[in-house]
Amino acid sequence: MTLLPSYYYSPLLPTTPPKLRSPLHTPHRRSRSPLPFLLRCSSAASSEMAGSTGSTLYPSHRCKTLHLVRHAQGIHNVKGEKDYKAYLSPELFDAHLTPLGWEQVSNLRKHVHKCGLAKKIDLVITSPLLRTMQTAVGVFGGESYTDGINVPPLMVENAGNSNHLAISSLNCPRFVAVEKCRERLGVHPCDKRRSISDYRPLFPAIDFSLIRSDVDVLWKADVREKDEDLASRGMSFINWLWTREEKEIAIVTHSAFLSHTLSNFGKDCHPTIEAEICKSFANCELRSMVLVDRSMLGLDSSNYNYPGKIPQGLDLPSDVAQEKQPEKSHAN
């Protein structure tokens, strides 16, 4: 697989008021085999070309665009930057966003509407932790929820001590919670999730059906997930994305998960491109990447390709005709 930079949003960039979004069609899911890992950044035929400049061409149906977002500022970010030992505090269990974090969410929301990205997203995948779900619904969700609308809210009012109005799911893509894109597991209480049965009333329109266990069986109080295990989990998540039909996918996740997942990519790119792929994420930063399936195992067909020659007719190219009929060509 190949992962290449496509688009950036920094929370430090100025923003302007959002535009209204239109209803989105969300494709259905279907299952297929995970793809083997293949890391390339160019179409170079040999390793001698690694690091050189050049262009790459791929069939569009073998590509997905991933819009990667790190959650906005959480209470653990504030406490932990002042004192790293604070990450061990039980008071930071399943850390929620700070008021500043919600401002960051609002600014990113304005940005994705202004640039038109909000209308393109087919699916929003979120880590099942409070801060990521708050960020996901705040950025990619609907407007403020109003009673009487015949759709469940993405988030109820004041969910997770947010002091935030309810958020509607009207005219939104599908939201799915996925365990594979959680933050590094273990030891830090801020990275432990609540029971899914606790989340469902807070985020009624988020789909939690892919999470098998109601309680958090992955987080261990005395074992911190190793770098290599986190990177491996990240690649498992990337491979899983090929089981989805959606092409434009927003993924709201965490700093360490992004860092170690993206470290798997860019080794044969120009150093500038590798740096773009692998640099650390700020709170509520958006970075878009094009993910390419080069394994030849993808099952999706193009929605736009057209076979031609309908109805049937003679269509031999002139160069081929010259090769097949050299005597006639010379005679002319």
Which H or E element spans position 67? Answer: strand 63-70
Token output for 52? 């050189």
Active site residue 71: yes
Q: Which of 187, 264, 171 is nearest to 225 (CA)?
A: 187
Buried b (16+ CB within 10 A) or exposed e, 159-173: bbebebebbbbbbbb
Residue carrying structure tokens 């259905």: 28
Would you tell me how many other CB atoms lie within 10 Å of the CB of residue 90? 8
Q: Would you give the DSSP letter of residue 243?
A: T
- Look at residue 234 and give its three-state secondary structure: helix
Which of 113, 164, 183, 254 is labelled catalytic? 183
Residue carrying structure tokens 């273990």: 186
Q: Give CA torsion, residues 124, 142, 14, 257, to 10 deg.
A: -20
Cα–Cα distance for residue pair 40/38, rounded to 1 Å: 7
The alpha carbon dihedral of 98, 199, 288, 164 has a sign of negative
Which H or E element spans position 229? Answer: helix 227-241
> Does residue 273 contact residue 50 with C-beta atoms inside 8 Å?
no
User: Could you tell me the CA-to-CA distances from 279 to 35, 135, 236, 282, 308 in Å, in that order?
Assistant: 25, 21, 21, 10, 44
- Look at residue 263 and give its three-state secondary structure: coil
Annotated catalytic residues are 71, 183
